[in-house]
Amino acid sequence: MRKILLVDDEKIMHDLAMAYLEREGYNIVSAFNGKEGLNMMLTERPDVVLLDYMMPGLNGEEVYQELCSNPKYKAISKTPVILLTANGCDDSLKTRLLRQGVLAYLQKPFGLRELANIIENIFIINDMRRDNQLLKRAVRTSRDIITQVVHNAPVGIIATNRGGKITQINRHALKVLEAATGQSASELNILENDELRNTFFYEGVSYVLSLGKPWLREVLFWSPRFAVRSVLNVHFVPMRTGNTGAVDGTIGIIEDITEKQKAQLERMILSNISQVMQEARNIDEVLQLLLTAATAGQGLGFTRAMIFLYDEEKQILRGRLAVGPSSSEEARRIWEELSHENIEIDHFLRKYGRFGKENSAALNQKVRGITIPVDSDCQLVKHFLERKQYRSIAARSRNSFRDTTHSPAELAALELDEFVSIPLHSPERLWGIIIADNKYGHVKLHQSRIQMLALAAAHAANAMVRLAAFRKIEDDNRKLEKALNELKETQEKLIHAERLAAIGEMAAHVAHEIRNPLVTIGGWARRMAEKACQNGEQREDDPARIIVDEVVRLESILANVLNFTRTNEPQLVQGNINTLIHELCLQLKPEYQKNGINCSMNLQDNLPDCLFDPDQIKQVLLNLLKNSLQSIGPGGRIGIATLLRGRDIEITVSDNGRGIPKSVLDSIFNPFFTTKEHGTGLGLAISRRIIHNHGGEITVHSEPNTGSVFKVNLPIDLKKADDHNEGPASLQEMIL
């Protein structure tokens, strides 16, 4: 129930008011003078005060002034007050009272109906005023919240009216706007500012205002003022305030996604680097790729990068590869060249990572000449051995890059200032170290790039592990293949040896069986011939003499056969093949002259000595020379030459004789194969045996009617003769 305080000195007023107003539903309290009224205001807290003007003591005006001005009544000073004035009071008083804040006045005499109306009005006004204040406060609060939100949002927010004029802008958006306009004013019209004409501000706002649809773009924003390039995600939406749906303005949200993009780009770069490294075929290629990735502008962007590989045995780090300029002039030139090449990092790596474009560069030469002992006491080496990154900060080492507490003295030539060194390692091995810096770049090393380099180095180490494993598999494969081939060869040799052994055994047996009767026949014939001679009956056609000659021939064939079956291990002595050939030619000279043969020697000067069995080699060469002699007619040519070929001495015996038919060329080294009328077919077989026992090889090249070339290769460093042992060592036992 609303409470009304009536302050009046007339009792009748109280009775009347109480009688009427209580019926109207109000609660009436009474005071009979100003002072009492003020006190009751404090105690009763009425909703409205009816205050008589004319009272003894304080009049109504004074009471009201006391109420408004005395701090004692501060809590109730806003209580609505209706002044009751006497008839005939002047208008100036009324005006003054109203000005002081009195809500209304009633001039006596007034009807009670009138009083009730005024009181009701007062209450309505008062309620409205209160509601209004609450609303105002609510509006202020929400506006404060919005302002807070707008200003503290992590994104740029800008609002315009329908004309394009900025109505709200937060500091992030303002920064971008100022960068775009070059001005610092926020009170501008986006559609009317010339500086903004070609920017996303104009494009977005005009799009939204004219079409009423949202506008969303990712824009690359270059701020010349801050020399910063950033990637922005910009979103303009229409603002509709009324119920009509008409566009009243725009709201723009500007999000800087540069870092996000950068991170994404870095991930992409790393994945590209990793992928290309997986394709590498050898460790040098991996290292070259790592360096190229480290220094490529599209990659990690260091100016110089160098790799030192760890030689665990010698306990050193040895410079292996480096990429980068060796002077600021060179740096400028390279960057200029590369700035024209706007290609993706993986293409770039494939293009430059493989061929080592900069390999001959001065820096590379310099680095290759550097070895660092790992017992060095400097931080770089210590960190390396602990498999840790080491970063030397410019401020610490600017004037002390020769300070050996940071980097070893061996690196002084590289003039390292601020640099980072990252170990290349896998769990089972410490491969080396990559050192990178921004020399000539004048840009500080960025932590994110260092992390990326570390990741790239890890990828490289992985690739190296993979390659090492791969190489091991390849090696094992090669070994297996070699073993298989050797096995095959041995098998073939065994088959050959077995065949030879069988032949040899049979031949030896037959030879021995024949020898005894031959000796008997020949011996007796010889005796008969000698007797005839002694008796002076010497005749050219003495049958006994013919028998003797034929037996001698048969015996020499037998000797050859037996010789083949028991070719001895060579008795090696140090000697010179040229000397042997000289002797041989001297020995054959009369025979050549007799037949009109032209024999030419072409012996290499300073032919090194080697180990060989002079008798056996002589036998081989004699055999070859005699074969040649038999294959050429009078006036034919025979050549003998020596040549040092690698670690082999090559002896060539050539002739311009009738050559060897292709059909039999493969068989000429087989025992008992012969094209001659009186040959045993053992000469070349024995020769090959001898050469094989020397660890050498004998080959033939022949053209029918043109001539033949036999080549004998003797190793200077004699291999173990066992390699070519064909088995008949046991033949002697077999013959027994």
Whether residue 109 is preceded by a cis peptide bond, meaning omega within 30 degrees of 0, is yes
Per CB under 8 A, 543 contacts another protein? no
Residues 6+ apart with CB under 8 A from 557: 680
**What is the edge-to-edge ordering of all strands in the sheet holding 419-426?**
371-373, 316-323, 304-311, 429-437, 419-426, 390-392
Nearer to another protein, 230 or 565 (CB): 565
In the list 43, 360, 516, 606, the residue contacting another protein (rule: CB under 8 A) is 516
Residues 554 to 573 in contact with another protein, rule: CB under 8 A: 555, 562, 566
In the list 551, 610, 649, 685, the residue contacting another protein (rule: CB under 8 A) is 551
The interface region with another protein, picked from 23-31, 237-245, 448-456, 546-554 by CB under 8 A, is 546-554
| Helix, strand or coil, per DSSP, at residue 604 | coil
Residues 6+ apart with CB under 8 A from 492: none
Quick one: tokens of 3?
A: 């409470």
In the list 182, 523, 608, 633, the residue contacting another protein (rule: CB under 8 A) is 523
Q: How far is the CB of 471 from another protein (least distance, A)?
A: 51
Per CB under 8 A, 735 contacts another protein? yes
Residues 477 to 496 in contact with another protein, rule: CB under 8 A: none
Per CB under 8 A, 373 contacts another protein? no
The interface region with another protein, picked from 5-13, 82-90, 155-163, 512-520 by CB under 8 A, is 512-520
Nearer to another protein, 517 or 608 (CB): 517
Contact, 434 vs 420, CB < 8 A?
no
Q: How far is the CB of 560 from another protein (least distance, A)?
A: 12
Q: How far is the CB of 635 from another protein (least distance, A)?
A: 36
Per CB under 8 A, 524 contacts another protein? yes
The interface region with another protein, picked from 32-40, 155-163, 545-553, 715-723 by CB under 8 A, is 545-553
Handedness of CA 454, 460, 464, 466 (dihedral sign): positive
Q: How far is the CB of 614 from another protein (least distance, A)?
A: 18
The interface region with another protein, picked from 7-15, 238-246, 259-267, 551-559 by CB under 8 A, is 551-559
Return the HEC string of 577-592. HHHHHHHHHHHHHHHH
Q: What's the distance, CA 430 to chain centroid?
A: 18
The interface region with another protein, picked from 494-502, 550-558, 685-693, 696-704 by CB under 8 A, is 550-558
Give how far Cα 598 sits from Cα of 584, 592, 627, Å: 15, 7, 15
Per CB under 8 A, 156 contacts another protein? no
- Tell which phi-psi region holds residue 368, choosing left (phi > 0), alpha (psi between -120 and 50) or beta: alpha
**How far apart (Å, rounded) are the C-alpha atoms in residues 496 and 491?**
8
Per CB under 8 A, 37 contacts another protein? no
Q: How far is the CB of 495 from another protein (least distance, A)?
A: 25
Q: How far is the CB of 519 from another protein (least distance, A)?
A: 5
Nearer to another protein, 593 or 732 (CB): 732
**How far apart (Å, rounded) are the C-alpha atoms in residues 122 and 684?**
144
Whether residue 423 is preceded by a cis peptide bond, meaning omega within 30 degrees of 0, is no
Contact, 157 vs 251, CB < 8 A?
yes
Per CB under 8 A, 685 contacts another protein? no
In the beta sheet, which residues pair with residue 218? Answer: 233
Q: Where are the beta strands (DSSP E) in 587-686?
A: 598-602, 610-612, 637-645, 648-655
Per CB under 8 A, 552 contacts another protein? yes
Residues 188 to 247 in contact with another protein, rule: CB under 8 A: none
- Which residue matches tokens 């037998």? 558
Quick one: tokens of 322?
A: 């480096």
Residues 6+ apart with CB under 8 A from 15: none
Per CB under 8 A, 522 contacts another protein? yes
Nearer to another protein, 418 or 613 (CB): 613
| Helix, strand or coil, per DSSP, at residue 307 | strand
The interface region with another protein, picked from 108-116, 544-552, 586-594, 721-729 by CB under 8 A, is 544-552
Mask: binding to another protein, 57-76, rule CB under 8 A, as x and -? --------------------
The site for another protein (CB under 8 A) is made up of 512, 515-527, 548, 551-552, 555, 562, 566, 732, 735-736
